[in-house]
Amino acid sequence: DTLHRVLRGMPKAELHIHIEGSLEPELIFALAQRNNVRLDYASVEDLRRAYAFTDLQSFLDIYYAGASVLITEQDFYDMTRAYLKRAHEDNVRHVEMFFDPQTHTARGIAFATVIDGISRALADARSEWGISGGLIMCFLRHLSEEEAFATLEQALPYRDRLLGVGLDSSERGHPPEKFARVFARCRELGLHLVAHAGEEGPPDYIRTALDLLKVERIDHGVRCLEDPELTRRVAKDGIALTVCPLSNIKLCVFDALHQHNMRALLDAGLKVTVNSDDPAYFGGYINDNFLQTFDALGLDAGHARQLARNSFSAAFLPASEKQKRL
């Protein structure tokens, strides 16, 4: 119908996509074969059947196993290329892409291999499709701050290729303050700062991500509404929330899409954006997230316009560049 056409066709920015989470089962098997990596799954169907998650950790275990097939620069290129092609079909015009170097360097893959492959695909997408974008390097919060510092050290030669840094992986038990010093250092380096907070973790993690890490956006942040004072602050300061509705259902943050708090977040005046998180694992790319959420919650063309505007307004683009796209 008309609303679906509007949602599909509108130019949009995607601000919460883990590139390793775009690795489709078919590509996992193709890369496993190419690289002689053994998988614990007999077939694509067998692997896909394992995508029945009960919480964040049950997903992360499979997500890290999937990433183990990535060995060469070409593997990172092929993965990123496949995502960007799919994003282009969804009329994504700007992408701020997370990557998890520690998942790869821990297996003996060079930092350069990872970032070169991803950057080359981004450069091609810019020249072929006019997609702008950049990289946000995430620290794995289940690892130590010392390990995060070591990763930052490895990234320094590539400082100019990074838009910013983020914080992902297991949220519960790994509060933002664990990374206060490394985020302070990244801030001195002029990097943009974001963090996952308030997905599974409590609203307090959103507050400490803002106060102690000084992040500019909150990834997920859906549990914000449990704290009215925090909600007012996040709204007043125009802090964007990069919400991922299908992810929230697959990881049991909400029981069903019609119970998602997207409409309530918008009604609270929060700068909400719609994103896919890990599209190969959660059953949909960005337009699937838009269409299914709009259907489930009865959102309208006004909401569509607001969400598209928010995606560019929340992007780390120069003000002049933003203005053109709003």
Residues that bind ligand HPA (CB under 6 A): 18, 21, 56, 63, 168-169, 196, 199, 247, 277-278
| Nearer to Zn ion among residue 90 and residue 199 (C-beta) | 199
| Nearer to ligand HPA among residue 96 and residue 278 (C-beta) | 278
Give the DSSP letter string of 52-114. --SSHHHHHHHHHHHGGG--SHHHHHHHHHHHHHHHHHTTEEEEEEEE-HHHHHTTT--HHHH
Q: Which partner, ligand HPA, Zn ion, none, binds residue 199 by CB below 5 to 8 Å per kind?
A: ligand HPA
97, 118 contact by CB (below 8 A): yes
Question: In whole angstroms, how close is the CB of 277 to ligand HPA at the nearest point?
Answer: 5
Question: In whole angstroms, how close is the CB of 16 to Zn ion at the nearest point?
Answer: 6
Separation between Cα atoms, residue 247 and residue 284, nearest integer Å: 9
Question: In whole angstroms, how close is the CB of 219 to ligand HPA at the nearest point?
Answer: 7
Q: Which partner, Zn ion, ligand HPA, none, binds residue 242 by CB below 5 to 8 Å per kind?
A: none
| Nearer to ligand HPA among residue 95 and residue 317 (C-beta) | 95
- Residue with the closest Cβ to ligand HPA? 168
Quick one: CA dihedral 15, 21, 27, 32, positive or negative? Answer: positive
Question: In whole angstroms, how close is the CB of 196 to Zn ion at the nearest point?
Answer: 6
Question: In whole angstroms, how close is the CB of 200 to ligand HPA at the nearest point?
Answer: 8
Separation between Cα atoms, residue 246 and residue 268, nearest integer Å: 21
The contact mask relative to Zn ion for 260-289 (x = CB under 5 A, - = no) is -----------------x------------
| Nearer to ligand HPA among residue 135 and residue 304 (C-beta) | 135
Binding-site residue positions: 16, 18, 196, 277-278
Determine which helix (DSSP H) or strand (DSSP E) holds 235, and give its type and residue range: helix 228-236
Contacts of 160 (CB under 8 A, 6+ apart): none
| Nearer to Zn ion among residue 19 and residue 32 (C-beta) | 19
**Which of 24, 96, 171, 199 is the catalytic position?**
199
188 is catalytic: no
Rule CB under 5 A: is residue 171 a binding residue for Zn ion? Answer: no
- Residue with the closest Cβ to Zn ion? 277
Strand pairing category for 12-18 and 92-99: parallel
* Closest to 25 in 3D by CA, of 291, 287, 289, 279: 279
Contacts of 125 (CB under 8 A, 6+ apart): 81, 84, 85, 88, 131, 133
* Closest to 208 in 3D by CA, of 263, 141, 156: 141
Which tokens go with 174? 């790994």
Q: Which partner, Zn ion, ligand HPA, none, binds residue 169 by CB below 5 to 8 Å per kind?
A: ligand HPA
Q: What are phi and psi of 135, to 5 degrees?
A: -110, 140
Binding-site residue positions for Zn(2+): 16, 18, 196, 277
Contact positions vs Zn ion (CB under 5 A): 277
Active-site positions?
199
